[in-house]
Amino acid sequence: MRESRLSEEAGQQYASAYDTHYTTKDIHKAFTLYEDIIAAHPNTKEAEYSRSQVQNIVNAVVSKKEIMDSIMELARIHFDQKAALDAEPASV
């Protein structure tokens, strides 16, 4: 029962975010609403839809170069962290 209520809540929140995005055309508010859905209902289909909508918004408002620079920096951070963990001596 609880899962059904959460799914219904996620659906209502997604409908509101989608309406804000495409009808009201308030992209910043829609972005925030999508973020809230992802945080509150991470394993729902609405969270997956919201992740897609966030990507749509990012692609619409951020230059391709800036997106690529950010992706590359994220990969560098990941590799640096992995290298640091690999370099740590094994605990006994």
Spatial distance between the Cα atoms of 46 and 44, rounded to a whole number of angstroms: 5
Q: What pLDDT score does 2 carry? A: 65
pTM: 0.80
CB 53 within 8 A of CB 36: no
Buried-exposed string 21-38: b where 16+ CB fall within 10 A, e elsewhere: beeeeeeeebbebbeebb
Amino acid at the residue 84: A
Instruction: Report the Cα 83 to chain-centroid distance in Å.
Output: 26
Q: Which of 39, 35, 41 is nearest to 4 (CA)?
A: 41
Provide φ and ψ at 63, rounded to 5°: -65, 150
pLDDT > 60? residue 92: no
Q: What pLDDT score does 83 carry? A: 78
Calculate what percentage of the chain has a pLDDT beyond 90: 79
